[in-house]
């Protein structure tokens, strides 16, 4: 399995609409993809439900990308 730093880079390289990622989330993925995934999957009561759903959808997209990276 790739190191965490390499995995973050590979995820961003393989995620096709990477240009549509908000800058804050992209930086979070670059710094610590595990933290980013945790942030995306958790409900945040201070944001609208539609944004929570968008975050969960992005979480699913990114985990799908991770599953496609060879060990």
The 10s digit of each residue's pLDDT in 6-62 is 788 888 888 888 788 888 888 998 888 889 999 999 999 999 999 999 999 999 999
The pLDDT value recorded for residue 16 is 83
Calculate helix-pair angle for 4-14, 49-67, nearest 10 degrees: 110
Cβ partners under 8 Å of residue 58, min gap 6: 21, 25, 40
Higher pLDDT, 5 or 63: 63
The pLDDT value recorded for residue 11 is 87
Task: Tell me which residue of 28, 25, 59 sits closest to 41, measured CA to CA.
Answer: 59
Cβ partners under 8 Å of residue 14, min gap 6: 65, 68, 69
């Amino acid at each position: 399995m790739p190191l965490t730093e390499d995995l973050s880079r590979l995820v961003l390289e393989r995620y096709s609409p990477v240009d549509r990622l908000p800058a804050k989330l992209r930086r979070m993925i670059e710094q610590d993809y595990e933290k980013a995934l945790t942030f995306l999957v958790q409900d945040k009561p201070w944001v609208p439900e539609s944004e929570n759903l968008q975050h969960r959808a992005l979480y699913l997209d990114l985990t799908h990308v991770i599953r496609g990276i060879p060990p």
